[in-house]
Structure 1
Amino acid sequence: MHNNKTFACCCATLLVVLLSILMISSRDALVFGKFIINNKKVMPTITFEELKKLLPKEDLSKLKAEALINTVSIYCSSSASSTSKYYLKETSTSFTYTFGNYDFDKAIAVGILYDGYSPVLNNQTDAVDGWMRLWVSTFTNVNRESSGVDACYKSEINRQYAAGMVEGLLTQPQIYNFFQNQYSNWKFAKNNVDLKAKFGDNNEWVKSHERFRSSQQQGRNSSNYYFPSALVAYMQDNYNWLNQQVASNPTSNYWKQVGGTLTQFNGLVQGYTIRAEQEKNEVYGSLNWLDLYFLQAAGDMETLETAIKDPSTTTRSRNNNNNNGIVLPDEETMTDCSALIKITPDCLNLFAGHTTWRGYNIINKMYKVYSLLLNNVASKTVSFASSPSFLSSKDDFYVTENGLVTMETTNDVFNETLFQYITPKSVLCWVRSIVANRLATTSKEWVYYFGLYNSGTYNNQWMALDYKNFKPGVCHLPKDSFWILEQIPGSVMTRDVTDVLNKQSFWSSFNIPYFEHIYNISGYQQAKQKFGNDYDYNLCSRALIFKREQAKIGADRSKPVDYKDFGRVLQFNEWKTDPYSLGDPSKAVSSRYDLRDLRFAAFGGIDTKVTDYVKNLKHTSMWGICGPTHQDESQTPPFTWTDKFKATHLGQPQTYNFDWVDLEDVDSFYSSLSQKSKRRN
C-alpha cells in the first residue's frame, strides 16, 4: 500500500505522461480558432490500455476506468457502404472513430475532454476543480482543402455531424447523469390543462397536439421516460417544421445554420448511443433521440412546462386566476441569474460577467469551446459555460472570436394569456442563440438574428456587448456597442443602451424587465403590488446591491483591477449584515436559498464567469468559479450535499469548495497542468 506522498507522485507521473503525449508546440503553427496547432500530426494514437502499460503494476488497481483527459478523433469516407453502422444518409457518408487519438492530420473532427469532477486516481482533492472542459474542432488541417482530400471532409454537414459525434462519444456518462438530475426537476403532472380550452381551435400548438393524439405516433416519440403528450407533440412538430424551413430555403445562411445545428445535435445522439451501447451504463433507463432533444431544450422547457399546467393545481395563487390572465405565485419566484458589465474608473478595462442561478442538483458545469470550420459565418470559434449535452450555453454566457460577449437573465411571464402565442412553428431559444453567435459581427446584428422566429420560450433579457469597440483609456463606448433584447411570447423588443452603460459606467441585470412595455404586459406591476419592491426594477435588493458594490471596483486607483475584484460583486452575498438583503440569503447577487431557515431549497447562484478586454480579444475565453458562493464563509459556508436535500445529483462532488480557475485555451491549459505536475513532484 502506498502512502499519500507516493500516491501523489504517482498522480503527477500520470499527468506528466499524458502531457508528454498531448503537448502542442507553437512553432510553425496554424491558428485553430484561438488555439495553436501544429501542421503535423500532434500526437500518436494511444489507447487507455496502452496508457496503463506506462504505469507501475502496483498502481494499476488505483487507475479509474475514466482518465482525467480523454480524446477522440472522427474519420469519414464517401466511398463506404451504406450498410456501415455509422452512416449519414443525407451525404452518403460513413464515419469511424478512435479513442485516445487526437489526429489533426486526418480526422474530420477531434475532441478533448478534461473532467474536472472526476479524479484521475481516486484522489479527489488533488484533481477536482468543479469544471469539466470540452474542446471540439472540425477539419482542423485547413491546408488539406487544396490537396484533393476525400469529398466527405469538405461537406459542412459532415463536419457538424462529426462534431456532434465527438461530444456524444466523449461525454456520454456525463450526459446520462445530467439527464437524470434534470428530469427529476421537471415534475410533469399526469393531468395538464386542456390546450384546446385554453388556446382555442386555431392555435398551432393545439393543432399539433390533436394530430399527435389521433395518430399515436411512435418512433422518435417513444421514450423510457414520461413526457406529457402536449410537449411531445410540440417538440416533434417543431423539429419537423425547422427541417422543412431548412429544405425550403437552400440559399438562406440563417436556415443553413439552423440546419447545421440540428445536424450537430443528431451527431451527438449518434455518439451518445454508440458509447452507451459499449458502456452499458444506463442503469435508470436508456436515453433516445426524444429524451436528448428535450434535454437540449431545457431552457425552453421552463416556459413550455408552465404553459401546460393548470394554474389551479400549482403553487400559483388560486384566488386570482381570473385577474386579466395574471396568475401570481403564492410566494416570490426562484428566478434565474445575475449579470454585470463594468467600465473601470480608469477606463483601461471592460469587464463582463454572469452568475447562473438554478437548482444545485443540475450544477454539473462544463466549459466548452467549439471551433467549427464553417463557411459564411462571423465566428467559427465560441467558448461558453454550459452543461453536458447542451450545444448552447443555457447559463447563458458566451465569448465569440468576433469580440462579442452575449449573456442573459430570465424574466417571469405572469400573464398567461401570452402563452397563446407559443407555436411549434418557431425557432427555440437554444437554436437561436447558436445561430446568432455564428452570424453576428456586431451587437446590433446579434439581437436582430436572435429575435427572428421568436418561440416565446425561455423569455430573457439578452445582452450583447461588442468588445471590438472598446479602446483602453477611452471612457465612452461608441454607438451600437451594447444592445439588449427582451422577449415574451409574441413580442421582442431591442434597443441600443450604450448611452446608459456610458452614463452609469455599469449595466446590471437581475430578472426584472428593463423595457416598460415588457414589464407591464408580463404582469410585473401586479407582482409588485403583491410582493413589494422585490419586483421593482430600481428598488429590488439586487439592483441596490449592484449599484453599491460596482462602485467599489477600481475605487483604489493605486491598485490595478483584476477579474477577482470584478467577480467579487457577482459572488456577493453578505445576507447577515447587508441591509439590502433583509436577512434573507436569497436576496443577493449570488443567492443561497439553502441557507434559509424556512422555505429552504437547494437552489441559488451556482457559478460565476468573467471575461475582460484582453481575455476576450486574445483568448476567446473566461475565468470561472464553480458552486454556490462561499466568498464570505462566515455568512455563506461551502455547500455540502446532506440528507437535508433530497434532490437527485448524480455526477457531482459532495462539497463545493472550489476557487477561481482560468478556463483557457488548449495550449495554456496544458501548460498550466504541466506546471502543476512539476510542483507536485
Structure 2
Amino acid sequence: MILCKVVLLVVSIVGITGEDKCIEIIENSWIKIDDVVIKNSTLLSYPVCASFVNQINQTGWSYLTIWSDPSTDLNDSTIAYLAGYLEGYMTRELIDDHFDNAWRTYCTDDPEFCEKAFQFYQDNLLYMKDNLYELASSDPYWHQVALVLSQMTGISDGMYGKLIYKPGINIDIHGKVFILNIITDLMELESVLKRGVNKKDQGFTTCSAMVKLVPGDLIIGHATWYEFGCMLRILKKYYLPFRTESKPNSPAVPGKLISMSSYPGLIFSSDDYYLISTGLTVMETTLMNFNETSYQFVKPDAGVLTFIRTMVANRLAVDGQSWSQIFSRYNLGTYNNQFMIVDYKRFTADKDEQESGLFWVLEQMPNLIVAQDMTSTLFKNNYWASYNIPYFKEVYQLADYPSSVKKYGPTYDYNENSRAKQFKRKQVEVFDYKSLLRLLRYNNYQNDPDARCNCTPPYSAGMSIASRADLNDPKGKYDATGVGFINEAAIDAKVTSFELFKQFKMYAISGPTYDDVPPFIWSNSILKDMFPHKGHPDAWVFEPIYF
C-alpha cells in the first residue's frame, strides 16, 4: 500500500535507534502499550505508534515521531488522545524536568497574579467548551480545536500512566501539560493582569528569522531566543491524518504531517517553526505590545489561545492566504507575533519571478490582525528578516512602538534596530542553507558596529542576530530593557531549503552560539546557581543535525 510507504518514510527520517511503542484500546477501555519492532505489519496492527530517541547529551536534541493508521475505524478524538498518551508516556521524564526548569518558581514572586491568570484560563476553557458543544460537529475549525485539547488530555494522562480511556476533554489548568503549553500566552497576561515582575522584561521568547532567495533556492531559517533553563528540546513529527470534520467520511485534513522544533509536553512548536505536508513552512518572531489601552480586548470569552489557533491553521490551510484567514479567527490577543508563511508549492527553482502567494506575512495584536501577500517585496529585496518589530504600520502604531523609540532609541525602530542592520549587511553572505544557519548563529558583539550602544561597556551581546545576553556585564549600564545581562540567548537555529523540504527535513543545531564567543557551559556560568536546569548537559557545544 502507498499509505504504508508514506508512514515508513516518516519513521525512517528519525532512524529507529531508540524506543518504539504502539498503543491501542482493548476490552473495557483498557489502554495497552506494546514495545514493537517497526515493520509493515506493525503499521497495520495498531491505530497509533511512536518512536522516541533521547540524544540531548549527544546532539542537544531528542526526537519524537508519532503516526496513526488512516485506515483505523477509531474516531479522530480517540486517535488524538492516543497520540498524546504515547507522547506523554514516552517523554514523561523530560516533561517533568522541563516543567521544573520553566515553571516551578514562576508564581513565587506574585501568587496573586497566578490566581488571576488561572481564572482567566479556566474561563477561556469554558468558553471553548461551549463553542465545541455547539460547533464541533459542523465547523472544521472547532473540530480541530477539540482534537488539540484531546491530544493535550492524552499527554497528561500518559505522563501519569492512567490505564482507562474515558472519551472527552479533561484539561487540568493546574496540570503540568496545560501550564507548559500556555507559558507563551502568559506574556500578554502579565501586562493585562498587571503582574508585579514582568518575565518578558527579563528576556522571554524573542527570535530572529530570515527568508532568503539565492539562485535556484529559497531558504528559510529561525533562531529561538529563550531562557537558558528551557533548552530541553524535542524535534517532533506528527503524522496524524485527521478528518476535516467529525463525520467518518469527511476528507482528511490537508496538513496531515507536521514537523517542528518543540519542547517536552508541548502540543505545538512554541518557537514557532513548522514544516507541513501541504508545502507550507510557518515561523514567527514575537511582537511586544506597549499599548495598555489595547488590553481591554484581551478577554477570556473573546477568543482562542494562539497556540491552538496555530495548530488549527497548520492542519486546515493549503496556502498562505488560507492559513492567514484560519489563524485570524477568534483572535484572543495573547502571544502576539509576526508570522511568515512560505508556500514551497509555488516556488520554481529556475525562475526569477514567482507567482503571487509564495510568501505571506501576518501580524497580530489585540483586536487587530494584518496579513498580506509579500512575495513581491521578498523578490525585490532578495530576503525578508524578522526581529520582533512589526513591519505593518498599522500594527507598529497600535502597539505604540514610536513611544518606545522615543524612550529607548533605535532598539524598537524597524529599520534602525541592530539586528535589522546586521541582517541587511550580512544577508549577502548567505548562498545556501548552511550559510544561513551560520548567519542565524552570528554574534561578534565586541567588534560589530551595530552591536554598539549607549552602554557601559559600550556594546551588548544581546544586540546580535544570535543573542548571548549572559555575556553582558551584570554590573554594566544599558540603555534599553532586554539588552543587558538577562537570562536569554539564541538557544538554537534551524533551516530548510527547497531540496531539504522535498525530503521533509530541516538542518538544526541546539544550544547557544559559540562561533565567535565562548561556548555556554553551566559550570562556568554565574547563571548556574540562579536558574534550574535539570536534565541539561553541562557544555552546550553540539554540531548541526538533519531531522
TM interval, shorter chain, is 0.7 to 0.9
Alignment match, 1:508: 385
Aligned ranges 1:13-52 → 2 under 5 Å: 30-32=5-7, 34-35=9-10
What CA distance in whole angstroms lies between the structure 2 residues aligned with 1:540 and 1:614? 32
State the partner residue of 2:467.
591
Q: 1:71 aligns with which of 20, 23, 26?
A: 20
Q: Deviations over 1:585-627 (max 9, x none)?
A: 11100000011113423311000010010111x2222110000
Q: How many Å apart are 1:373 and its aligned residue? A: 2.5
**Superposition deviation, residue 647 in structure 1:** 0.3
Kept after mapping to 1: 8 A contact 2:82/2:151: yes
Q: Which of 256, 259, 271 is matched with 1:383 structurally?
A: 259
Aligned amino acid, residue 132 of structure 2 = V
Residue type matched to 2:325 in 1? Y
Alpha-carbon distance between aligned partners in 1 of 2:3 and 2:205, rounded to the nearest angstrom: 49
Q: Which residue pairs with 1:349 in the alignment? A: 217
Aligned partners of 1:374 and 1:333: how far apart in 2? 37
Q: Which residue of 1 aligns with 2:439?
A: 569
CA–CA distance in 2 between the matches of 1:569 and 1:28? 39
Name the counterpart of 2:397.
520
Kindly tell me: are residues 190 and 588 of structure 1, through their superposed partners in 2, closer, same or farther at Cα, counting changes over 3 Å? closer
Give the Cα–Cα distance (whole angstroms) in 1 for the partners of residues 203 and 61 of structure 2: 28
The 1-side partners of 2:208 and 2:173 are apart by: 34
What is the 5 A alignment of 1:163-242?
A: 163-184=83-104, 186-187=106-107, 189-190=109-110, 192=112, 228-242=114-128
Match of 1:602 in 2: 487
Any conservation in 2 of the 1:590–1:604 contact (CA below 8 Å)?
yes
* Secondary structure of 2:489's aligned partner: strand
C-alpha distance in structure 2 between counterparts of 1:134 and 1:241, whole Å: 32
Cα distance, 1:525 vs structure 2: 0.6
Q: For the residues of structure 2 that align with 1:473 and 1:522, how far apart are their CA atoms?
A: 40
Which amino acid is 2:264 matched to? Answer: P
Task: From the superposition, tell whether residues 33 and 505 of structure 1 become closer, same or farther in structure 2 (CA, over 3 Å).
Answer: farther
Equivalent-residue separation in structure 2 for 1:242 and 1:457 (angstroms): 15
SS at structure 2 position matched to 1:30: helix
- Structure 1, unmatched stretches of 5+, are 1-25, 44-67, 82-86, 88-93, 119-127, 146-152, 194-227, 277-286, 317-328, 555-560, 664-681
Q: Given the alignment of the two structures, is residue 654 of structure 1 paired with residue 538 of structure 2, yes or no?
A: yes
Alignment match of 1:412 (pick from 288, 308, 331): 288
Matched-pair identity in %:
30
Pairing 1:362-401 to 2, within 5 Å after superposition: 362-376=230-244, 377-401=253-277
| Aligned residue in 2 for 1:130 | 60
> How do 1:206-605 residues align onto structure 2 when only pairs under 5 Å count?
228-249=114-135, 250-274=137-161, 290-309=175-194, 313-314=196-197, 336-344=206-214, 346=215, 348-376=216-244, 377-425=253-301, 426-554=303-431, 561=432, 563-582=433-452, 583-598=459-474, 599-605=484-490
More moved, 378-387 vs 518-527: 518-527
The Cα shift of 1:636 comes to: 3.9
Q: Which letter maps to 2:131?
A: Q
* Amino acid in structure 1 at the alignment position of 2:225: W
- For the residues of structure 2 that align with 1:498 and 1:387, how far apart are their CA atoms? 31
Following TM superposition, by how much is the alpha carbon of 1:662 offset from its aligned partner in structure 2, in angstroms?
A: 0.7
- Write the letter of the residue equivalent to 1:95: I
Select 1:622's aligned residue among 506, 515, 531: 506
Residues 192 and 309 in structure 1, CA contact (< 8 A), matched pair in contact too: no
Contact 2:184 2:205 in 1 (8 A): no
Deviation at 1:240, TM superposition (A): 2.1
CA distance in 2 between partners of 1:577 and 1:524 (Å): 28
The farther-off stretch of 28-37 and 292-301 is 28-37
Q: Please say if residues 519 and 539 of structure 2, whose CA atoms lie closer than 8 Å, have aligned partners that are also in contact.
A: no
What do the CA deviations read for 1:23-54 (whole angstroms, capped 9, x no partner)? Answer: xxx999521285278xxxx99xxxxxxxxxxx
Bigger shift: 534-543 or 421-430? Answer: 421-430
2: CA distance, partners of 1:261 / 1:332: 30
Q: 1:332 to 1:108 in 2, by over 3 A?
A: closer
**8 Å Cα contact 1:410/1:461 also seen in 2:** yes
The equivalent residue for 1:220 is: none
**SS of equivalent to 1:475:** coil
Distance 2:410 2:239 in 1: 44
Rounded Cα–Cα distance in structure 2 between residues aligned with 1:456 and 1:288: 20
**Cα deviation code 1:316-354 (max 9, x no counterpart):** 9xxxxxxxxxxxx9x89666000000010x2x1100000
**Partners in 2 of 1:637 and 1:518 — Cα distance?**
37
Return the offset for 1:245: 1.1
Gap regions ≥5 residues in structure 2: 164-171, 245-252, 453-458, 475-483
Q: Which whole-Å deviations, capped at 9, do the CAs of 1:227-259 have from their partners, x for residues lacking one?
A: x22112121222222122122111111111111
TM-score, normalisation: structure 2: 0.88
| Aligned mates of 2:317, 2:460 — CA distance in 1 | 41
Q: Whose radius of gyration is greater, 1 or 2?
A: 1
- Which residue does 1:640 correspond to in 2? 522
Residue 241 of structure 2 contacts residue 256 of structure 2 at CA under 8 Å; is this kept in 1? yes
One-letter amino acid of the counterpart of residue 543, structure 2: D
Contact 1:71 / 1:170 at 8 angstroms: preserved in 2?
A: no
Tell me if the contact between 2:203 and 2:486 (Cα under 8 Å) persists in the aligned partners: no
Segment drifting more, 99-108 vs 348-357? 99-108
Deviations 1:530-578 (A, max 9, x none): 1111111001100000011111223xxxxxx3x2111111111111211
**What is the identity, as a one-letter code, of the residue corresponding to 1:257?**
Q
Report Cα offsets for 1:471-491 as digits up to 9, x if no partner: 012122221211111111121
Structure 1 residues 242 and 576, CA gap change in structure 2 (3 angstroms): same
Contact 1:269-1:289 at 8 Å conserved across structures: no
- RMSD (Å), alpha carbons: 2.6
- Structure 1: distance between partners of 2:261 and 2:204: 21
The answer as to 2:44 corresponding to 1:95 is: no
Tell me which amino acid in the other structure corresponds to 2:6.
V
Shift of 1:267: 0.9
Q: What SS does structure 2 have at the residue aligned with 1:502?
A: helix
Aligned partner letter, 2:78: N
Decide whether the 8 Å contact of 2:4 with 2:43 is kept in 1. Answer: no
Contact 1:374 1:380 in 2 (8 A): yes
Task: Show CA shifts across 1:124-167 (max 9, x none).
Answer: xxxx100010000112xx5x55xxxxxxx431111111100110
Distance in 1 separating the partners of 2:118 and 2:176:
10
Residue 314 (structure 1) shift = 4.1
